[in-house]
Amino acid sequence: MDLRTKLDLLNRYSRPQPGQRPGAAGTDIHRYIEGTVVSNGYGSCFVAETSFLLKERHGSSPLGLFQRLGRGTFARVGKDPALKDLDLEGALFIDTETTGLAGGAGTVPFLTGTGRIEGERFVIRQYFMRDYSDEAAVLEELRRAFAAASAVVSYNGKAYDMNLLASRYILNRIEAAGLDLPHLDLLFSSRRIWSGRLESCSLKHVERHILGFDRGDDVEGYLIPALYFDYLKSGTAERLVQVFTHNRFDILSLLALAGVAGAFFERPLSSAADPRDLLSIGRSLELQGEVEAACSCYEAVLERSEEREVRNPALLHLSYLLKRGRKWSGAVKVWERMLELGGFGLVPYEELAKYYEHRVRDFAAALAVVEKGLKRIEVVRELRETGGYRDIEQALRYRRARLRRKNGETDDG
């Protein structure tokens, strides 16, 4: 859809001012969406509730996949030690639909969806503002939901949803809730795992390509604020059915995605069929200090793919991990393979020269590698007509002179 079409759609709706009463809109919602009105000390709001069995699938992914995972897995998924004891059965899954996408004090979450695992079901409750005057009541209901939760799960909630809610609590002079809970933000997890092969890590894109879920005729996110303003203006909630469905899909995807992401980290060799995913998981595990698991991922990449874009990074990272772990036999094999394949600059020459000189004190072998490296520089310089490699060339020449002395030879420059 081009920009002109989007603008035409948006211009159909006019934005009412906060506090404008929608007339019959307060009761019209019941005509299209099943739910109840709940009351608390701040007023009342509309709540729609639906539930799904954990044995059901969301696309090709079981909602209950998380049940097969160890609890400590989510610390790896979220790259956060605070999640080491995360139990999804106590977590609150959350996603908001707002009156604007840019944020700011004027942006209001008019529909907030939450999900909780209750027994063998995943229960979704959607808290809706029939008008701006319902906001405080919605926030109070959410505060109670946060109070009963042990963690939060979202998609970009750290940067958006939770900050937005925090600001609304302040503006309504209600004590904020949920901000101190451990937070698994699956947007960042998805980027760490799938950005290597997906052109976008938007939730809709991840749903389609990872969860096997297609939303079909789903409402576009940029239209959602306009649909709410139209509801306030017209008093009819018919088109809000799409918004509730959109929000419900978001919440369901959070649960399914948490299970899939957890499986990728806990059992990467069997869960990640694409070598690009294995490479990404290996890198994430490496950065979290899980060296053995990272090495297994990199080795699996090398077994499953000969694509240069995937194979070369795996070889490079594997070589450094083997070196760091003083697994010299494996490291040498990797460096030698890197020499055969090319495309690694002078890294394998340097590393092999260091190994032969300092680890096994085979000065002749080290000198031979250095000579190959210097010849490589000459070839590259001729082909590219560039003066690059100046620093490393100087270092290799210095190493060659030292090795010649150690090897009993006379350095002729």
Residue type present at position 269: L
Domain ranges of the chain: 3-266, 268-336, 345-413
Q: Do 253 and 46 touch, CB atoms closer than 8 A?
A: no
Give the sign of the dihedral formed by CA 321, CA 325, CA 330, CA 335: positive
Cα 207 from Cα 191, distance rounded (Å):
13
Nearest Cα to Cα of residue 53 among 116, 122, 99, 7: 122
Cα 57 from Cα 282, distance rounded (Å):
28
Nearest Cα to Cα of residue 317 among 329, 299, 305, 304: 299
Helix (H/G/I), strand (E/B), else coil: 168: helix
Nearest Cα to Cα of residue 207 among 267, 260, 275, 165: 260
Cα 399 from Cα 226, distance rounded (Å):
69
Q: How many other C-beta atoms can be found within 10 angstroms of the C-beta atom of residue 315?
A: 22
Please name the helix (run of DSSP H) or strand (run of DSSP E) that holds residue 324, with its range, or none.
helix 308-324
Tokens of 101: 């996408």
Looking at the chain, the number of H-run helices and the number of E-run strands are 17, 9
Tokens of 72: 């400590």
Q: Where does 268-336 sit in CATH, by number?
A: 1.25.40
**Which CATH number is 3-266's, of 3.40.50.1000, 1.20.1250.20, 3.40.50.720, 3.30.420.10?**
3.30.420.10
Residues 6+ apart with CB under 8 A from 259: 61, 62, 63, 64, 65, 66, 68, 69
Residues 6+ apart with CB under 8 A from 131: 20, 21, 22, 25, 26, 232
Residue type present at position 65: L
Tokens of 207: 């749903």
Q: How do the pLDDT tens digits run along the chain, 413 residues long?
A: 555 555 454 454 444 444 444 443 445 899 999 999 999 999 999 999 999 999 999 999 999 999 999 989 999 999 999 999 999 999 999 999 999 866 666 899 999 999 999 999 999 999 999 999 999 999 999 999 999 999 999 999 999 999 999 999 999 999 998 999 999 999 999 999 999 999 999 999 999 999 999 999 899 988 999 999 999 998 899 999 999 999 999 999 999 999 999 999 999 999 999 999 999 999 999 999 999 999 999 999 999 999 999 999 999 999 999 999 999 999 999 999 999 998 888 899 999 999 998 999 999 999 999 999 888 888 777 666 555 567 777 778 878 888 888 877 765 55
* pLDDT at position 386: 55
3-state DSSP: the chain helix, strand, coil percent, rounded to 5?
Answer: 60, 15, 30
Cα 212 from Cα 60, distance rounded (Å):
5
Tokens of 209: 């390509």
Residue type present at position 251: I
Q: Do 255 and 74 touch, CB atoms closer than 8 A?
A: no
Nearest Cα to Cα of residue 177 among 94, 99, 117: 94
Buried b vs exposed e over 229-266: b needs ≥16 C-beta within 10 Å? bbbbbbebbebbebbbbbbbbbbbbbbbbbbbbbbbbb
